[in-house]
Structure formats: C-alpha cells, structure tokens
C-alpha cells in the first residue's frame, strides 16, 4: 500500500479548525503503545524474512499471529472443517509467467511491425487459465474508455461484438480531462481503473484488451506499467477465470497508439474527445491487426488469510470486519547496503499489530451484539488477493456484513490532529468515522489526490466492489508535536527512502502513541457498528450502492 500525501492546503484548513487532542471518551479502552511496538518489532524482524506469501516467512507469521490472537482471547474464525473453525482460510493463488520473450506483431495495412515487450507494449502473463497464447491477426477496435455504467446512462460499446477482437481503451474515466461530468470529475471512479476495463472486456468475450498509457490519467509513468506487467503475475484461483480475464491483457505506449490511429486514417486526440461524450461509438482500426504468440508457465501456490473472531451475543450471523494485510515483499533484490529482506515494519506490520490489539480490546470488553471478525489477509502486495479471495469466498455472508474497517501502513510516530481515508468515496461509515474522530480531537482531511484511485488500491476495495460498506483508515500528518511540517516531512521521507524497500524496518524511536490514540477511535467506530443494529450504506450516487441494495431484504 502507498501512504497518502495530504495536501498542504487541506492540512492548513484542518489544523486551523482542529481542537487540541482530547482525552478519549470513557468507553474506549486504552491501547498499549509498548505492545504495538513489540508486535511490530517481531513481525518486522529478519527472522520473518519479509513475510512473503507461501514462503517460510508465512509459516512464522501465521504461527505468531495465531498465538497472539489466542492469547488475546479470540476464537478461530477461518475455514470450517468437520464443524470446527480453523485459524486460517486457505487462499490458493494462480501464478503465471511468460516463458521467454513473447512474439508480438502489429500489422499496419500489410506492413508487419514487431513490438518489443516492455518498450512499446507490456503484455501480462494470462490469468484466464491459458497455458499458451496464439493470436493471429486479430482486429483492433477502439472502445473509448471501455465503460458500461447504466446508473450514469453511459455505454461506450453500443452493442459492438468483441469476440475474436482486441479492444483498445483509454485509461481513467470519461470526465478526468474536463474535470466535470458524470464520473466524479477529477476523482477516479472504478470505471477508470484498468482492472475494471479487463473485467468488462472479459464479460464481453473479447480476445484481448490493450490500455493506452498516458501518465496524467494513469497517475504513473511507463516504468511502473512495465514493472508491474511483464513479470510474474498472480491472481486468486477462480472457479471461472475466463469471466474475469481475457487471454491478452496489456498496455501500449501513447505514441504507438497515435501512430496506429494515424495509419487507420484516424485522429487520436479527436477520437479521445468524442470518447468523453455519451454519443461516442466504437471505431475499428481499419486494415490493422495484432498477432501474439508465447507459452506460459502456470502453477498454483497456497497462502492463507488468518481469521480471529468474537461471536456476537445477539446477532451472531451479522458481522463487522476489521482487516489488515500481513504479507509484504519477502526476500528480493538487495539494496545499496546488501540488505535483501523487505521487513515491512510500516507496510503492514503496523496494521497487523493494530488488528491484534483491537482483538485483545474487544475480547476483554462485554460481548458485542454482532460478531466481530479480525481478518489478517495475505497477498495484498500481489494485488489485494487475500481480501479478494475472502470476498469471493466469504466465510461469513457479505449481505449481513455491516462494514469493513481496513488498516494499512499506519504511522508509528506521535498522535495527529487529523486522519484520512484512501480515496474519495462517500458512505455512511465515513460519516460515522468523522463523528467519532471528533471525540478524539481529530478532523477529517480528504485524500488530496483522488484521481490517482487510491480507493481501489487497498484491501477494503475487494469488499466495496461487492457492495459491502468498507473503508481504509489512514493516519493523519498534522502532528500534535511538530504540526504538518513534521508530519509531511516524515511522510515524504518514508515514501522516498523506505516505502517498498528493505529499509522499512522497526525503529527504536517510534513511540506508537499516535496509533494507540487512533485505535481508540477505530474501536469506538467498530463497537458502535457491532452494537447499534445500524446498516450504513453508500451514497446514492456511488457506483457500489446498487450491488449493496440487491441484498437489502437480507438486512431487515
């Protein structure tokens, strides 16, 4: 997970209105900063080898977290076998890799142009179950932003048949460039994410989908596209993988797209403008085709989600979930000092420590009316896969899961006067969080960069896209001690020098007082949800509302 940089302007406003940090309200327990520090230090120690899924580091992590959950007084809440719950949920993961360099050829009106993997194009190893890809001269169709959004009266496909064809799409959503329209303006809706575009192409039976890269709407450069697409790929093992993936998924460079359009007698910029309107119709790139040929190495590895639970006293079949991922990057490329262990002390030993201590607090309080599940998921770093697997194979029904509170990469320093969440979603759970935070002397600072789509890059999203109200808490950076200058400096230093690097290590001078303070608020929020009978929902204009409302009759 990438921690968020809050904007200076928003910070200035929030610190102006923030009260001094107030003592926690009477009902919230006190969280022990020393225990948070000890747990973080253990999980981030070299002995845990960077907590790579399906490595010896996973075994160590699972044993340790289960021991902590047991000691806290939680019950096992994982896979059900012979009437007994295990402490884990097995998560089978598909691992695929292209063998050698793929042969990729663009045919432009009879002229064959070979494309170099990683340079003009970045094709992913397929996750639809294929063991080889052999595409011969498939036609290419430009489908605008590749969006079907009935609640916004928007359909880029207009009934075009994509069978046997490769769809070519723009990244982000139709109103990103104008900043005004039906897709949240600058903020990215799920329709803007490439994951959505692949899924939509699969629903339409396309042979492939290529996303045209542009740095501003993607929010990252080509290097990121290349690094995250041409290496080993992972997905959950799906019952029907072709319903989620097309055989050929990839990106092409903007300049290549412009020249492909030109060869077909089309103007890329003009068509992009048209794609920003409802009247857009798909356009065939005349006399052009793409061929692709390569073999695929495919295997299944098994990782695990760790699941602790407190059964509800009154409504055991209704669930509140706290979640955090335990995995990190494992052992990898050495840094300048020769360190190869990616300890992940902040990302996400902090969230796991928080999860254990929340479990401890609830286990020592009067029983909640609803069941509370403490879900420590795997493979977040491989693409939110542990949470995706849980949400696709829920241990407790999603329809009666009242809400999900996720924690990822928390700040181990002193307390803040503010907090944030990933993305700019509107939901009742956020209103509740804002109200609770006020009692803890904290104000809400919105994600200042919602166009980057952080909402879709943390584990709560696996639940959100299925309609479950879900939110990812983010530590603030208007520090009580040092204000936003200190908070922002620490944030920037972390992103530059430690994020996803072997140096994300436990530090003796981390006080953990901020986390201890914030956990009081997150406890209050979850406790209210577990004892109030309330069913928070998404705002009426949210793209996740419809999925929730389908199961409304199960929440009476």
Question: From CA 173, how far away is CA 197, in angstroms rounded?
Answer: 10
Asked whether position 173 contacts Zn ion by CB under 5 A, the answer is no
Q: At closest approach, how far in Å is the CB of 80 from Zn ion? A: 30
Return the residues of window 440-479 that contact Zn ion according to CB under 5 A. none
Q: Which is nearer to Zn ion, 347 or 488 (CB)?
A: 347
Q: Which is nearer to Zn ion, 347 or 478 (CB)?
A: 347
Q: Which is nearer to Zn ion, 245 or 325 (CB)?
A: 325
Q: Which is nearer to Zn ion, 154 or 342 (CB)?
A: 342
Token reading at 461: 């999203």
Q: At closest approach, how far in Å is the CB of 474 from Zn ion? A: 13
**3-class DSSP assignment, residue 299:** strand
Question: From CA 2, how far away is CA 506, in angstroms rounded?
Answer: 18
Question: From CA 291, how far away is CA 137, in angstroms rounded?
Answer: 5
Question: From CA 433, how far away is CA 451, in angstroms rounded?
Answer: 23
- Closest of 239, 151, 143 to residue 198, by C-alpha: 143
Cα 109 → chain centroid: 41
**3-class DSSP assignment, residue 333:** coil
Q: Which is nearer to Zn ion, 324 or 516 (CB)?
A: 324
Given a contact cutoff of 8 angstroms between Cβ atoms, the answer to whether 75 and 308 are in contact is yes
Residues 6+ apart with CB under 8 A from 225: 122, 213, 218, 251
Q: Which is nearer to Zn ion, 347 or 543 (CB)?
A: 347
Binding mask 1-40 for Zn ion (x = CB under 5 A): x---------------------------------------
Given a contact cutoff of 8 angstroms between Cβ atoms, the answer to whether 383 and 231 are in contact is no
- Closest of 203, 185, 72 to residue 143, by C-alpha: 203
Neighbour tally for 4: CB within 10 Å: 25
Count of residues near Zn ion by CB under 5 A: 2
Q: At closest approach, how far in Å is the CB of 409 from Zn ion? A: 7
Q: At closest approach, how far in Å is the CB of 429 from Zn ion? A: 23
Token reading at 283: 């356009």
Question: Which string of DSSP letters, residue by residue, matches 371-409?
Answer: EEEEEEES-STTTSHHHHHHHHS-SS-STTEEEEEEE-S
**Dihedral of the CA atoms 438, 442, 443, 445 (nearest 10)?**
-150
Q: Which is nearer to Zn ion, 175 or 459 (CB)?
A: 459
Q: Which is nearer to Zn ion, 49 or 347 (CB)?
A: 347
Compute and round to an integer the Cα radius of gyration of the chain: 24
Given a contact cutoff of 8 angstroms between Cβ atoms, the answer to whether 443 and 418 are in contact is yes
Question: From CA 404, how far away is CA 410, in angstroms rounded?
Answer: 17
Using CB positions, name the residue nearest to Zn ion.
347
Q: Which is nearer to Zn ion, 345 or 361 (CB)?
A: 345
Return the residues of window 347-376 that contact Zn ion according to CB under 5 A. 347
Q: At closest approach, how far in Å is the CB of 457 from Zn ion? A: 9
Angle, CA 494 vertex, CA 489 and CA 498 arms, to 5°? 155
Cα 90 → chain centroid: 20
Beta bridge partners of 211: 169, 251
Q: At closest approach, how far in Å is the CB of 27 from Zn ion? A: 33
Given a contact cutoff of 8 angstroms between Cβ atoms, the answer to whether 420 and 444 are in contact is yes
Q: Which is nearer to Zn ion, 60 or 500 (CB)?
A: 500
Return the residues of window 240-269 that contact Zn ion according to CB under 5 A. none
Residues 6+ apart with CB under 8 A from 151: 543, 546
Q: At closest approach, how far in Å is the CB of 492 from Zn ion? A: 17
Q: Which is nearer to Zn ion, 124 or 328 (CB)?
A: 328
Q: Half-sphere exposure (CA, 13 Å, Cβ side) for 384?
A: 22
Q: At closest approach, how far in Å is the CB of 500 from Zn ion? A: 6
Residues 6+ apart with CB under 8 A from 441: 18, 19, 20, 21, 22, 417
Q: Which is nearer to Zn ion, 149 or 346 (CB)?
A: 346
Q: At closest approach, how far in Å is the CB of 4 from Zn ion? A: 13
Q: At closest approach, how far in Å is the CB of 348 from Zn ion? A: 7
Return the residues of window 288-347 that contact Zn ion according to CB under 5 A. 347
Q: At closest approach, how far in Å is the CB of 110 from Zn ion? A: 47
With residues binned 3-state (H G I as helix, E B as strand, rest as coil), the percentages for the chain, rounded to 5, are 35, 25, 40
Helix axes 33-43, 513-531, angle to 10 degrees: 100
Q: At closest approach, how far in Å is the CB of 316 from Zn ion? A: 34
Q: At closest approach, how far in Å is the CB of 146 from Zn ion? A: 27
Q: At closest approach, how far in Å is the CB of 1 from Zn ion? A: 5
Q: Which is nearer to Zn ion, 51 or 545 (CB)?
A: 51
Q: Which is nearer to Zn ion, 347 or 357 (CB)?
A: 347
Return the residues of window 86-105 that contact Zn ion according to CB under 5 A. none
**3-class DSSP assignment, residue 54:** coil
Judged by the rule CB under 5 A, the positions of this chain that interact with Zn ion are 1, 347
């Amino acid at each position: 997970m990438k921690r968020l940089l809050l904007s200076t302007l928003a910070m200035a406003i929030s610190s102006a209105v923030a009260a001094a940090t107030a003592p926690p309200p009477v009902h919230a327990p006190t969280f022990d900063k020393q225990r948070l520090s000890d747990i973080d230090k253990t999980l981030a120690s070299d002995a845990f080898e960077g907590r790579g899924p399906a490595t010896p580091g996973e075994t160590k992590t699972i044993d340790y977290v289960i021991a902590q959950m047991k000691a806290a007084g939680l019950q096992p809440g994982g896979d059900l076998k012979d009437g007994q719950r295990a402490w884990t949920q097995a998560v089978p993961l598909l691992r695929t890799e292209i063998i050698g360099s793929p042969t990729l050829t663009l045919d432009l009106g009879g002229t064959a142009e070979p494309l170099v993997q990683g340079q003009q194009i970045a094709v992913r190893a397929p996750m639809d179950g294929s063991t080889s890809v052999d595409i011969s001269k498939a036609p290419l169709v430009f489908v605008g932003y590749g969006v079907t959004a009935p609640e916004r009266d928007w359909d880029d496909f207009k009934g075009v048949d994509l069978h046997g064809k490769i769809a070519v799409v723009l990244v982000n959503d139709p109103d990103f460039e104008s900043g005004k329209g039906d897709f949240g303006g600058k903020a990215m809706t799920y329709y803007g994410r490439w994951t959505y575009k692949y899924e939509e192409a699969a629903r339409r039976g396309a042979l492939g989908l290529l996303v045209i890269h542009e740095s501003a709407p993607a929010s990252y450069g080509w290097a990121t596209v290349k690094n995250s697409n041409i290496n080993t790929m992972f997905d959950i093992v799906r019952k029907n993988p072709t319903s989620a993936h097309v055989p050929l998924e990839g990106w092409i460079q903007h300049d290549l797209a412009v020249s492909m359009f030109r060869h077909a007698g089309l103007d890329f910029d003009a068509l992009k403008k048209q794609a920003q309107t409802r009247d857009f119709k798909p356009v065939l790139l005349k006399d052009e085709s793409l061929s692709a040929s390569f073999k695929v190495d495919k295997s299944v590895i098994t990782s695990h989600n760790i699941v602790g639970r407190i059964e509800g006293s009154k409504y055991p079949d209704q669930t509140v979930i706290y979640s955090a991922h335990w995995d990190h990057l494992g052992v990898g490329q050495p840094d300048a000092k020769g360190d190869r262990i990616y300890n992940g002390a902040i990302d996400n030993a902090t969230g796991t420590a928080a999860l254990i201590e929340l479990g401890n607090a609830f286990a020592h309080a009067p029983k909640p009316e609803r069941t509370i599940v403490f879900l420590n998921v795997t493979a977040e770093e491989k693409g939110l896969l542990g949470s995706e697997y849980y949400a696709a194979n829920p241990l407790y029904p999603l329809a009666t899961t009242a809400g999900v509170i996720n924690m990822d990469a928390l700040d181990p320093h002193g307390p803040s006067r503010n907090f944030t969440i990933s993305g700019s979603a509107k939901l009742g759970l956020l209103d509740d969080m804002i109200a609770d935070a006020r009692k803890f002397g904290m104000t809400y600072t919105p994600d200042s960069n919602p166009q980057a789509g952080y909402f879709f890059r943390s584990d709560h999203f696996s639940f959100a896209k299925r309609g479950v109200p879900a939110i990812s808490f983010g530590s603030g950076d208007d520090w009580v001690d040092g204000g936003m200058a200190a908070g922002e400096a620490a944030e920037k230093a972390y992103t530059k020098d430690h994020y996803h690097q072997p140096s994300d290590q436990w530090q003796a001078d981390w006080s953990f007082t901020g986390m201890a303070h914030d956990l009081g608020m997150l406890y209050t929020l979850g406790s209210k949800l577990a004892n109030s009978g309330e069913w928070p929902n998404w705002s009426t204009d949210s793209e996740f509302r419809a999925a929730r409302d389908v199961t409304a009759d199960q929440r009476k």
